[in-house]
Structure formats: structure tokens, C-alpha cells
Amino acid sequence: MIKAESLTMIYGNGHKATDDISFDIKAGEIVGFAGPNGAGKTTVIKMLTGILKPTSGTAVINGFDINKDPVNAKMSFAYIADNPDILIQLTGIEYLNFIADMYEVPEDVRKEKIVSLSERFGMKDVLNTQMREYSHGMRQKLMVISALIHNPPAWILDEPMTGLDPSAAFELKQMMREHAKAGNAVLFSTHVLEVAEQLCDRILIINNGMIIREGTLDYLKLDNPGMSLEEIFVKLTGNPEK
């Protein structure tokens, strides 16, 4: 459902950030994208979501090519960017309604979702406040809520746990599990390996723009018996995560 086909990105300054990245995340799967800072996770996610045009290769979301059929592709995924500091001049509710308009969410559905999600994330009382007054964690929670209002089949989340308090992180993990269980696909990048270990059906490990290992946790542990994911990761990348 979330398919990368030989995604290569060479930035304008000549830096090759990703090299021939391919994977396919099927309905029902939660996949973690792990790698040290600068490994290329955000670059891959930006190519998957149509923010960056790949130098070569393409991405197919829910059967729609992101570059040939961008509107249908974009309607079928929710995206959480690595930085929630956007449109902070809007109030929370203005932002949520803007996103709901973009995704053509019907009035009654959006009302119900906004109430239930803002309650679940403890954001009900601040929806009429401008986002510039929000803390990083509150902005991040609002991004999560906005992504879930239109509830598309694929979720693509770039470091979604960053800045969330423990109860919000717990809710989000719970929702990721529920979403996958309902037959959808979830891809999230993380530098917190414990989160990957708890949640993922499969882990993709990226280093220097290439996928150097992928598989279930059990598979990754096969040739490294007794090691935690963190130990395996450091052994493979030689680069403890910050």
C-alpha cells in the first residue's frame, strides 16, 4: 500500500541523500523506519508524499503514483511532518477545519472526529487558542489530530513521537495499532528504537541513504542472538543515535 520504487535523491548541491530505496508496506502492517540522523529517512518520506520530486524512481500509495496521479495518491494517506511549526497564526480549530476542508471531510464527520480526537489527546480546551501559543508537544498533538480527521488507509509519519508527553505517545501508539489491525498500512520513522521494538511488524534500517537491513524483529535478532534492537542497530550503523 505504501510502495517505494528505487527512490534516489540527489540534492541540488550534488549530495546523494538516498540511493535506490525500495520497499512495499502491505495492508495490515506497521513498519518502522530507523536510522541515524542524516541517514535519509525524511528525504524518503518527502519523496513518498510528493513534497520532493525524486531524481529517479517513484512512489505508489494505495495504487496511485504520487507523481502521475498526485491528488488521488494524496487523498489516500495521512502525513505528519517532522516539524509541526506551520500556520501558527491560526487557532487550533481553524487549522483543523482548514485540513478537513482540503480533504473534503463532511461536516458531521469532522465535528465528531474533532471532539473525540481532541478529547483523546487532551487538546479540547485549547482549540480556540492561536497555535503560536502552543508548546512543541501541543503543536505535534494538533498535527496528529489533523492527520486523523480524514482517516485515510495509509499513514506516513516522520518522527511522530517527538515532543509528545507519555500519555499522548501512548494514545498515538494505540491508534497506530488499531489502524493497522483494521487493514491499513503505517510507516513511521523513529530514532527511539524502543518504540520500533514495541510497535513494528517489520523494521527497515537505513544508513547513508541505503537500506542496510530489513525484516521482523525476530529476523533481525536471528544472526544477533541475545542483542536488543538498539545493540543490533549500533552494530550495523556504527553510529549510536542521538
- Three-state SS at 16: strand
Closest separation in Å from C-beta 89 to ligand ADP: 25
| Distance in Å, CB of 226 to Mg ion, minimum | 30
Is 43 a binding residue for ligand ADP by CB under 6 A? The answer is yes
Instruction: For ligand ADP, give the closer residue by CB, 38 or 183.
Output: 38
Give the one entry of Mg ion, ligand ADP, none that residue 11 binds, where binding means its C-beta sits below a cut-off of 5 to 8 angstroms depending on kind.
Answer: ligand ADP
Which helix (H) or strand (E) segment holds residue 189: the answer is: strand 185-190
Tell whether residue 34 is a contact of ligand ADP (CB under 6 A). Answer: no
Please report whether residue 57 would count as binding ligand ADP according to CB under 6 A.
no
CB of 45 or CB of 145, closer to ligand ADP: 45
CA neighbor of 43 nearest in space, from 206, 225, 164 = 206
Under rule CB under 6 A, which residues in 5-24 are in contact with ligand ADP? 11, 13, 15, 17
What is the end-to-end Cα distance of the chain in Å, rounded?
31
Amino acid of residue 184:
N
Question: Quick check: 162 binds Mg ion (CB under 5 A)?
Answer: no
Residue from 7, 34, 42, 100 binding ligand ADP (CB under 6 A): 42
Instruction: Determine the Cα angle at 189 with ends 231 and 114, to 5°.
Output: 135
- Distance in angstroms (rounded) separating the CA atoms of residues 142 and 134: 10
37 counts as binding ligand ADP under rule CB under 6 A = yes
Tell me which H or E stretch contains 152: none
- Alpha-carbon torsion, ordered 193, 195, 197, 199, to 10 deg: -150
> What is the C-alpha radius of gyration for the chain, rounded to an integer number of angstroms?
18
Site map (CB under 5 A) of Mg ion, residues 30-49, x = contact: -----------xx-------
Which residues of the shown chain bind ligand ADP in the complex (CB under 6 A)? 11, 13, 15, 17, 35, 37-43
